[in-house]
Structures are given as C-alpha cells and as structure tokens.
Amino acid sequence: MRGPTQILPTDRADEMLINMGPQHPATHGVLKVVIGLEGERVTRAVPHIGFLHRNHEKIEEARTYPQIITYTDRMDYVSGLQNELPFILAVEDLLGVEVPDRAKYLRVIFFELYRLASHLVWLGTGMLDFGAITPFLYTFRDRERILEIVEKTAGARMLPNYFTFGGVRRDVHPDFFKDVADFLDFFEKRLPDYYALVLDSPVFQARAVGVGVLPKERAIARGASGPVLRASGVAYDVRKAEPYDAYPEIEFEVPVREEGDVYARFWVRFKEMEESIKIIRQAIEKTPKVGPYKGKVPARMKVKGSRYRAVEISRGHLGAHVVGDGTDRPYRIKHRSPSFANLQLIPDLLVGARFADAIAILSSLDPVFGEVDR
C-alpha cells in the first residue's frame, strides 16, 4: 500500500533524502520528517507522526468524568495544567456548575504560570536548535522556580491534576501569592537578558528575519493557531474571542506581528511572556483573599448533551468536544490540539528553505508530541 505520506526512494540523481528523527536531537520529541535535499535547498518535506500515539480519546471514553481530568494533563506535557481546562469547562457547562470567583482567578494565575513555563522551555530548546546552549541553562533554571511554586500548592510539577469541576482541587499554600509576586519581580529582571541573548541579537536576527515566511492566508487555510497564527498577522486569541474564567475582567493585549517569519514567531512569544506577567499581576490583585475555591458539583456526575469549549494554551487553540449520553462516562470525547494543526505547515514552510533553516523553522513552530499524537 502506498499512502499519501509515503516517500519512495528518489529516482532523481540530484536529490538526496534525509530522515530527520524520530530520535534526532533537533526534532522536538518524536517527530520524523523526511526531507528531500537538492544541495542546500529542501525540495520536499513530509512529516511522519504517530510514534507517541496512546489512544487518548478512546481511553477517556472508558473512564468516568473525574478520572478523565488526569488523562487530559498528559497531552501537552510541557504546559500540563492548561490541558485540563477545556474538558472541565465543557463538562461544567453541561452540568450547570457555578465556579466561584476565587477559583476563576486562581485558574488564571496557574494558567499563565504554565504559559511562562512552557515558553521558557520553548525558548531554551529552540535556541539549542539554533546552536546556542546558554539560554537553555538559564531558562530551565527560571522554569524550575515556577514549578516549585506550583508543586507547593498543586502537589506535582508537570502534571499536577489540579483543576477540577467547579474550581480547583485545594486552596493555595499560604505563601503562594507572595511567591508568585516574588517570581514575577525576578523574572521581569531576567527578561531583558533574554532579549539581549536572543531577540535583539544581530546573530539571531541574521538567521531568523525573513526565514520561513508564512502568509496570512496560508496560516488560516491550514488551521494554524496560537503564536504561529498571530505572527502572521491574525489577531485571534481564544482568551479574547471566547473568554473563559476570569479573563473578561483582565486587561491585556494580544501581540500580533505581520511578517510571519521565524523572527515574528519568536517576537510574539516574547511579548506573550510580558503579557502573562501583567495578567498574573492583575489576577493576584483581584483574587478574593478568602472564599470558596470550589463550587458545588453533583456527587454522581451524569452528563447529557454535547458541548465544545476551547482555551488558548501556550501553543494555540485547544478544544474539547464532550458528548455525554446521561451515564457517568462520556459517549465521545474529541480534543482539538494546536500543535497537530500547526504541524501541517511543515511542507508549506520547509520547501524551498535551506536545510539549516529547516531546523530553525521547526523550533519556531514549537510542537509538543504528547499532544500531536494523543
């Protein structure tokens, strides 16, 4: 059988095929890209996925609603906590659960902390792909501080299983708000260093400006989302388009850039980190100091109906479609994951680029494979 993604050995004498991945250090996770090269130029690029497939949606259909939250964490493991939210929001809507104010703000704080953590991982590993090792060491140290704050309250670092129907699982540690404020002050001082090392560095700019240009129409046609889409000039952010939790009460901007090249995608993520700092600051101020952290949830969850909810995770539009048939297990769950859609851009972006730029382009897409393969 010859599928559309299968590549036969090339019959052209001037073309060379290279299998990049699935264990190549420059592919994030287990991506395999078959790249055809003509000298330095990429003539074709076909991504192969599925090395991390775990049958997520089917497993979830065999579990009860409270059990599923644990599994949703494991999709985009770099920003673990954020993945729980679309599923929880959908089920809350179906059950008509009220979320107390304090829980809404706590969710926003954790959500944005994970955005910072995830963008730090992206920045570190992305710069590794560019051949710069120093930022990796710095970003992971800063990320460690976020994870420590999260662990103090949520009990785990990467996959905390902390959000739940009606709010969050437990109240925050007494030091939480102080820790977060301290971290933000610290991180704000760090950001100029990252600008100096990466974004403002002419060495980086020489490799990123004008590379891997993604036109607006292409980005929309392929269903791209998140920073990739916003770097191509589309101001779409689920936090603004369909606000959830406490986002309507918080002021922030959506950074957009028109160029659509690697530099623009880096720029958008950098600005997003700044916005996250602003969002967390506002949320800390507005969080009611005391109050319930969890709303009333029926003890026996019998969900009926169908609902789609989406959130803006670090990589883009993550959605969950929950169909309940009135039993304690969902009839069907479908996750719409951003990296999977963004990965379709590989042939668009890579063909015609130089091979060295191909790696830069891949790292600017920032795919996480737990979520691509599910």
Partner 1 sequence: MSLLAEVWEAVRAIGQGMAAVNRRVGESAVTEFYPYQKPEIPPVSVQFLALIQNEDGSDRCVSCLACERACPSQVITIERKRNPAGKGFVLERFDLDFVNCMHCANCVEVCPVSAIVTVGDFEHAVYDVNMLKADKAFLDEIGRRAQVWYSPKFGVEIRKPDGSIEKAPPEMQPGGLAELLAGEEGA
Give the residues lining the site for partner 1 (CB under 8 A): 63, 66-68, 70-71, 134, 138, 151-156, 159, 161, 169-174, 176, 193, 196-197, 200-203, 289-290, 293
101: nearest Cα among 374, 293, 311, 238: 293
Compare residues 4 and 202 and give the one whose CB is closer to partner 1.
Answer: 202
Torsions phi, psi for 90 (to 5 deg) = -60, -45
Min separation Cβ 79 and partner 1, Å: 17
For partner 1, give the closer residue by CB, 151 or 259: 151
> Residue 16 or residue 196: which is nearer to partner 1 going by CB?
196
> Smallest distance from the beta carbon of 2 to partner 1, in angstroms?
38
Q: How far apart are CA 15 and CA 39, in angstroms?
A: 8
Cβ-Cβ contacts under 8 Å for 357 (sequence gap 6 or more): 207, 211, 212, 262
- Smallest distance, Å, CB 260 to partner 1? 24
φ, ψ of residue 352 in degrees (nearest 5):
95, -15
Give me 329's structure tokens.
Answer: 């297990």
Q: CB of 278 within 8 A of CB of 252? A: yes
CB 63 to partner 1: min, Å: 6
Q: Tell me whether residue 53 or residue 141 sits nearer to partner 1 (CB atom).
A: 141
Least spacing, CB of residue 252 vs partner 1, in Å: 26
Closer to partner 1 at the Cβ: 161 or 337? 161
Shortest distance in whole angstroms from residue 305 CB to partner 1: 23
Residue placing its CB nearer to partner 1 in the complex, 13 or 290: 290
CB 10 → partner 1: shortest distance, Å?
Answer: 38
For partner 1, the closer of residues 108 and 228 by Cβ is 108
**Residue placing its CB nearer to partner 1 in the complex, 2 or 189:** 189
For the packed helices 134-154 and 101-130, what is the interaxial angle rounded to 10 degrees?
Answer: 160
Closest to partner 1 by CB, 200 vs 258, is 200
Closest distance between partner 1 and the C-beta of residue 193, in Å? 4
| Gap between the Cα atoms of 83 and 106, Å rounded | 15
Task: In angstroms, give the least distance from the CB of 198 to partner 1.
Answer: 9
